[in-house]
Amino acid sequence: MGAFLAVAQGSDQPPVFLELHLSAKKSTKPPLCFVGKGVCFDSGGISLKPSKSMGSMRFDMTGAACVLSTILTLAKLGSELPFDVIGLIPLVENLPSGKAIKPGDVVYAMNGMSIEVENTDAEGRLILADGLCYADTFKPSHVIDIATLTGAILVALGDSAAGVFTNDKTLWKEIHKAAANTGERVWRLPLYKHFSEQVKLESIDLCNTSKPSFQGLGGSCIAAAFLKEFTTSNSWMHIDIAGVVERKGSNPLYNTSMTGLFS
């Protein structure tokens, strides 16, 4: 898990990869896997964030909190599950130090792919990459990752909805129906091959941002295209909750400050 460990190396706090299993009593079906981004504090690393926006970066573990609360809720409900549910939560701090990963460094994910770290503040996708690779080892029926991944999703959707990317139309219909029932709105965004081409390099497999000619464009789609390289599942979904994790405007559906949506 070189990508996960690379993000963690700048902090004195050791990383933790939390693995949760909720077992069905009788099931021969493949499990359902959740992967949650758990950056417990995100300074941006060497690619340091502006100090004005850094104080709220304690919420960069909200994806992890969503996965944990999902597993706990299913356990408390006590109903018989038709399949096992697995929660995978990589937990790190992203801090600058003499030990921290630097822009231009190359790391290797669990599937062997090489990644050039163009920006250390694009760290969430690095830890999720290894989480998705590990999820594959369970041969799950579905893989769903949840993350406060990109600021670009706020540009696209504001605080109106979470951004959803998926390669499974049926899974999209299910999450869209659930969102309508709960008021936790979602909006589907594209996984065009065009975006995948922007994260691929000639001498290195992938870049954790995009090619220089595409910098600043389609940030949320670029991040999703990057993650797609680390799962072999035909039923994968990425939910970017960066826009709905904190109430930015006057949306009456959400709490002030941290909203608790999707948890």
Instruction: Quick: pLDDT tens for 22-71.
Output: 999 888 899 999 999 999 999 999 999 999 889 899 999 999 999 999 99
List, in order of start, the domains of the chain with CATH numbers.
2-240 (3.40.630.10)
Mean pLDDT of the residues in the chain: 94
Element (H, E) at 88: strand 85-94
Alpha-carbon gap, residue 178 to 160, rounded angstroms: 16
pLDDT of residue 261 exceeding 70, the answer is no
pLDDT of residue 111 exceeding 60, the answer is yes
The residues carrying an active-site annotation are 49, 125
Smallest CA-to-CA distance from 70 within 36, 37, 38 is with 36
pLDDT in tens, 134-163: 999 999 999 999 999 999 999 999 999 999
**Residue pair 138/234 in contact by the 8 Å Cβ criterion:** no
- In order of 11, 46, 124, the CA distances from 98 in angstroms are 10, 10, 21
